Chains A and B, each alone.
Chain A
């Protein structure tokens, strides 16, 4: 299969689908989702009401990334209607076209083109309908602000609303009409105000836990003290005697329901349970050795040349191992769902990144046909990959069925930390070689449980092999003591920390400036351009590290979005690190909403400081020790560096993803800046004050 042109396996046959992106990744994800596809009928994406208001439909979720606004821009642009006339309904399985889920920075990149094409076709059909009503040939008509008008006499016009009347449009065009050339864009590419801003600023935005239904009960569920623990004895009498409480036991699930969250919690606390906890065999220090030991033989992700040949060419060889821990998603909104079953049909309001996947899970669990299950995705209070898992929604649906009443399951923060699908702990081993001219000639790269994403070299290396053992998706072979999964840019944070730190290890040994060393080993012009833009904005002065200044660089090609990041840090004697300044350059092709894209960069940089400096799940076996923000420290206001963002003007490239790429460089850029400040090279994130203090050279 060619990288830039891949075949999509569809119901009726095989045809060329997309020509950009990461084919393996998309195909695999789509197959996992059951091989379903976006519909071809534009009516599935758009409805035009009689008053001319346009509603777009997307099976994606608004997790905060601003997709709702950017998709509205795409639809408004292609239809020629003002942006304030377009709203987008998201993640409602009864209204929206199927979608496999909101992850992988794919919403604009893959759903955007489908919506854009649908809007282009709708616009062309509206022109045809207008041509019949105005009795004018199509080529004498133009569209503007929600009207079809006569080019020569704009007063002679008819509104979209009058043409469409809110109905399904039966007419379709074949071949599909062309989309608008980007040079004509008036809405796409301009900063747009978020559609959800006023709702969120006034507290009116509804999340899954804000749904209130008549007779609704709040459920609190009995949880084990550790993953793998077995219930030995249970005494429910205290909870059963609590006024207003209902106790439900169904197989392994024991829940207490009440008219409010805190009353249900108080009643649950009266349940006396004894558990048998299996003996811990791993903890947060021994896990890495364990992972390397149990790793499968693995698959070659990509290779070129011959490692033996590379080794022969190498004048110096570098062997290092890099470590990353389990990291929590910790969205501010814990997993929450409200479920109602009425007249043989279920409705679930869920904080989810995968409404259509959840629809199947609920249907299977409570024994309903798919079409009898409706998932509504209200605003989601952050996901970052964690809300791909739908456990709480399945629990709510089960309990609603058992209770015969609507039920809300809202996880506590402690449950959120316990049932999270953490970023997997992972190990990367790199053996690399430079020739006498400091050119890379060897790159032997072994990944243990991080997954392959962004492990493919973009540096110019004649001999390399990328081997991936175990993915981020599942451990297998008893690798992990609890669930793991996608964490904002899955695998890439670990791979890029390893690769970009290793580049600096070599640069330092070679006595070269880290930028200069990268440019020496790069042929990729897009990456060179991104790095040059970052250096220019940052004011990068070439020097060999450690220079004492505390500056660092890192770069990545994340699914065809290019990011170059530079940072300046200060290090205290205690080992505490303050990231003072971050410059981030992103080349994401055409940008739909530049202000939204910048907000995502700022957010990624800020969130990324956590996995660099503090975030790590402590555990003994299946017992998670960090259960709230007191011991699991996430970035806060006082950590905020000065952030400067640059979006590279690249109008020739279709829009790429933006929700994840800028977080990917953060581990390496900070580790490299710390090395530059102190000469201490840390191979393990997070770089906590204790670890750094230990590594600091004696004064």
Chain B
């Protein structure tokens, strides 16, 4: 029961013949080769698979293709522009946030979703927005610091 589904992926139009009940995560990873988005739990609990749909952070492992129609999808691969890292990516690098790095894409994308809505979040707002993203290496402290620092940079006029 494949259907043609058109959407925008990281700024480019995409048209796919695909079963509309399949989840976006597997289309990204296995059909389109965008492996930056990770499988962590498959039930929308851990946040490793987070992508933006029209600027809103969603769990791609729970997001069916039928809902992707005509939407704008942004994955971790779509954040850096013109060879320049997104301020959040830069802050994650600068703060040496990453340990194993497996949760990182989901963390950065969720944080991007937050900053689009709330460019200057308080620490409490950051914790609330990020609380359903898990990092087993225990890197939460640096992630919070990196998000705060990216928000500052963006206030000063860094991209977006």
| A483 contacts partner chain B, Cβ-Cβ < 8 Å | no
- A196-B136 contact, Cβ under 8 Å, with A202-B36, A203-B105, A640-B127: no
The verdict on A376 contacting chain B, using a C-beta distance below 8 Å, is no
CA distance A384 to B99 in the complex (A): 12
Is the CB of B54 closer than 8 A to any CB of chain A?
Answer: no
A260 within 8 A of B: yes
Q: Indicate whether A161 reaches chain B with its CB closer than 8 angstroms.
A: no
- The one of B38, B93, B131 in contact with A637, judged by C-beta atoms closer than 8 angstroms, is B131
User: Chain A nearest CB: distance from B158 CB in Å?
Assistant: 15
B45 in the interface, Cβ–Cβ < 8 Å? yes
**Nearest-CB residue, chain A, relative to B133:** A637
Neighbour of B101 across the interface among A64, A595, A643, CB < 8 A: A64
Q: Do residues A203 and B37 form an inter-chain contact, with CB atoms below 8 A? A: yes
Verify A629–B134 contact, CB threshold 8 A: yes
A260-B77 contact given A332-B135, A607-B137, CB 8 Å threshold: no
Is A212 a contact partner of B137 (Cβ separation < 8 A)? Answer: no
* Contact in complex: B45, A332 (CB < 8 Å): no
- The answer to whether A381 has its CB under 8 Å from any CB of chain B is yes
The size bracket of the interface on B is 35 or more
Among B30, B33, B133, B143, contact of A261 (Cβ-Cβ < 8 Å): B30
Residues in chain B near residue A431, CB distance under 8 A: none
The answer to whether A637 and B130 have CB atoms under 8 Å apart is yes
Contacts of B102 in A (CB 8 A): 207, 331-333, 381-382
Residues in B whose Cβ lies below 8 Å from that of A691:
none
A621-654 with Cβ < 8 A to chain B = 628-630, 634-638, 640, 643
- B140 interfacial by beta-carbon distance below 8 Å: yes
Question: Contact check: which of A201, A382, A410, A414 meets B92 at CB < 8 Å?
Answer: A201
Contacts of B41 in A (CB 8 A): 413, 628-629
B window 6-38: CB within 8 A of A: 22-23, 25-26, 29-31, 33-38
Among B40, B77, B104, B128, the residue within 8 A (CB) of A200 is B104
Nearest CB of A to B19, in Å? 9
Q: Quick one: which of A170-206 are within 8 Å of B by CB?
A: 193-194, 196-206
Min CB–CB distance A217 → chain B (angstroms): 11
Q: Is there an interface contact between A203 and B139, defined as CB atoms closer than 8 Å?
A: no
Q: Is the CB of B93 within 8 A of A380?
A: no
Measured between beta carbons, the chain A residues less than 8 angstroms from B53 are none
The residue from B25, B33, B137 contacting A382, defined by CB atoms under 8 A apart: B137
Is A599's beta carbon under 8 Å from chain B?
yes
Residues of A within 8 A of B137 (CB): 64, 332, 382, 603, 607
Give the distance in Å from the alpha carbon of A252 to the alpha carbon of B59 in the complex: 35
* Cβ contact within 8 Å between B40 and A379: no
Indicate whether A634 sits within 8 Å of B136 (C-beta atoms), given known contacts A259-B30, A332-B46. yes
Closest to A259 in B: B30
CB neighbours of B100 from chain A (8 A): 63-64, 331-333, 379-382
On whether the beta carbons of A197 and B92 are closer than 8 Å, the reply is yes
Closest Cβ–Cβ distance, residue A420 to chain B (whole Å): 13
Inside 8 A of A323's CB, which chain B residues have their CB? Answer: none
Contact B138 A605 (CB under 8 A): yes
Bound form: Cα–Cα A116–B29 in Å: 40
Q: Is B76 an interface residue (CB 8 A)?
A: yes
Asked whether any CB of chain A lies closer than 8 Å to the CB of B70, the reply is no
Residues from chain A with a CB closer than 8 A to the CB of B132 are 636
Residues of B within 8 A of A643 (CB): 141
> Does chain B have a CB within 8 A of A602?
yes
Residues of A within 8 Å of B133, CB to CB, are 637
User: In whole angstroms, how far apart are the Cα atoms of A634 and B37 in the complex?
Assistant: 21
Could you tell me which residues of chain B, from 74 to 113, have a CB within 8 Å of some CB in chain A?
Answer: 75-77, 79-80, 85, 89-90, 92-93, 96-105, 108
**Chain B residues near A634 (CB, 8 Å)?**
134, 136
Q: List 27 A-B contacts (CB under 8 A).
A: A64-B99, A64-B137, A196-B101, A197-B93, A201-B93, A201-B108, A202-B80, A203-B34, A209-B35, A260-B30, A262-B23, A262-B26, A262-B30, A330-B136, A332-B100, A333-B38, A382-B100, A410-B39, A413-B40, A595-B96, A599-B142, A602-B141, A605-B138, A606-B141, A629-B46, A634-B134, A643-B141
Q: Interface of A with B (CB < 8 Å)?
A: 63-66, 193-194, 196-207, 209-210, 212, 218, 259-263, 330-334, 379-382, 384, 410, 412-414, 595-596, 599, 602-608, 628-630, 634-638, 640, 643
Contacts beyond the supplied A198-B89, A638-B127: 7 A-B pairs with Cβ under 8 Å: A201-B98, A261-B39, A332-B38, A599-B99, A606-B140, A629-B45, A636-B134
B positions within 8 Å CB-CB of A: 22-23, 25-26, 29-31, 33-43, 45-46, 48, 75-77, 79-80, 85, 89-90, 92-93, 96-105, 108, 126-128, 130-144
